Structure 1
């Protein structure tokens, strides 16, 4: 126990030294994140929605269905202070994307029982996407400095007109693989549903900040045991470069999915237990859609 305590203290000292060497500033006590090279990066973890909040969300979304666990106040925020550009991730906007896209429900005979098991005496009409698959790739707003009042005002409703352009360049994997110290890392769960123990529907966002860049992965992961697996990944990468240059964010979005039947036909296991980690099987899934874009932020 004493050795473990000393190792943790040593790791803490190394992190503190790396923060100081990079010029990063940790956020005040009680907040999780840092300020580095003009970026404020902050994660927030909160408990699942209360029953009252669930009702409010259902009213706003126009749906009587929500995932079993919605972490409605949890979020990840990346704010470029000088330009006011704010990229953030939250459950409400993600579920709004699910509601608007409205994919047809996956055809599974038992699905109606999974989602309505608490209402066994009601007639079930499964007419919505019970997997909560979302096209969500983040929310965007612009915060403008107002010198007159010395405060910030928010412009935009998540569609603030940031100019993402299609591009050929991808994320710099060599830079990501370099042995830089990780100044900040966190994973935020936005919502989750276990499909009544018949699989998983999960939306998470992870962020990693190094002295030269930040990187994040927003992932929707679906596994309906014996039926289907689906991955919708959005990766964002920003290299800090030099102070005089512009900041560029690369965003890669990829939708993959395959049926268990298709995977079995290719010689892969049909046992759902073999597919607990999406990182290990993502390359086995067929690509449905993908695109790469960039956002240029003048310094």
Structure 2
């Protein structure tokens, strides 16, 4: 999805592009930036394994890629990155998915070695984003202190207004950032991405973990966030998490295809997968912390 931003539309919405060659924009007190970088090199890969205390990582880890949404007045920064997502995978530590052809899979092993799938090779993560507070600690030097925080998200019954998102508002900024990907030795896909869309009235993002183990299992974990711009009040963020999951056997039993080729696009088949977990929360962003 390529979006060409019109300068007149940006100006009319009170937005401006980020400076210094950064990709993103400023709008209604928010700085929204996407960073797309190359995959980890071998030395970075080893360092991540040490930090995460694992000998397994996805085939492609875009370690320096991220999506960052910063509320300037409060210093709150909501961001999405591969390291924190993989830390969530490591902590959840799901049991490995049973695969009939597991003996033929060569996960990070030499061809003559026995393959033992004793870890969650799908890299499933419960990750729904990272939260940091940036505070200027030395106004003379302009130094910034960052600290991880746990913002106070409250459970709520409110829902993200999908009708407003389907309106004909101009899209001021759009991007999709891949955080990590693994093709499961050509037996499926494990993919974590985050997309953001900014309109004159709001911003909206989708963090999606998509798993397809061919012939065995499909898993979809979506986190959506939505913020409506309101100059008369502090921003309120809605965060909706929805986990879906089903086996190929279950789907086939109710008449859906058993061919993995029919499940290449998670957006199309998501409604076929039953919901196993759903939660909506809201956060009121303060003026400053």
Say whether the fold is shared (TM-score over 0.5). yes
Selected match of 2:47 from 50, 56, 59: 56
The equivalences for 1:7-18 within 5 A come to 12=4, 15-18=6-9
1:224 matches 2:180? no
Q: Provide structure 1 residue ranges, at least 5 long, that are not aligned to the other structure.
A: 1-7
1:204 matches 2:193? yes
Larger CA deviation: 95-104 vs 106-115: 106-115
Change beyond 3 A, Cα 1:29–1:167: same
SS in 2 for 1:232: strand
TM-score, normalised to structure 2, is 0.95
SS in 2 for 1:56: helix
Selected match of 2:246 from 258, 270, 273: 258
1:19 matches 2:37? no
- Greater relative contact order: 1 or 2 (C-alpha under 8 angstroms, separation 6 or more)? 2
Change beyond 3 A, Cα 1:59–1:112: farther
| CA root-mean-square deviation | 1.6
The equivalences for 1:102-121 within 5 A come to 102-116=93-107, 118-121=109-112
Q: Provide structure 2 residue ranges, at least 5 long, that are not aligned to the other structure.
A: none
* CA shift digits 1:165-187 (9 cap, x unpaired): 00000101121111110000000
1:28 matches 2:16? no
User: Are the equivalent residues in 1 in contact too, given 2:153–2:282 (CA < 8 A)?
Assistant: yes
For residue 117 of structure 2, what is the aligned residue in structure 1? 126
For residue 248 of structure 1, what is the aligned residue in structure 2? 236
SS in 2 for 1:156: strand
* CA shift digits 1:106-148 (9 cap, x unpaired): 0013235324364122233221000000000000001123364
Aligned-pair CA distance for 1:80: 0.1
Selected match of 1:44 from 35, 48, 52: 35
Instruction: Please state which structure has a larger fraction of its residues in helix.
Output: 1
Q: Distance in 1 between matches of 2:48 and 2:108?
A: 21
Q: Distance in 2 between matches of 1:56 and 1:262?
A: 40
Equivalenced residues, count: 286
For residue 170 of structure 2, what is the aligned residue in structure 1? 181
TM-score, normalised to structure 1, is 0.92
Q: Distance in 1 between matches of 2:103 and 2:21?
A: 43
User: Are the equivalent residues in 1 in contact too, given 2:227–2:237 (CA < 8 A)?
Assistant: yes
1:72 matches 2:60? no
User: Are the equivalent residues in 1 in contact too, given 2:107–2:185 (CA < 8 A)?
Assistant: no
Aligned-pair CA distance for 1:152: 4.7
User: Are the equivalent residues in 2 in contact too, given 1:115–1:195 (CA < 8 A)?
Assistant: no
User: Are the equivalent residues in 2 in contact too, given 1:83–1:297 (CA < 8 A)?
Assistant: yes
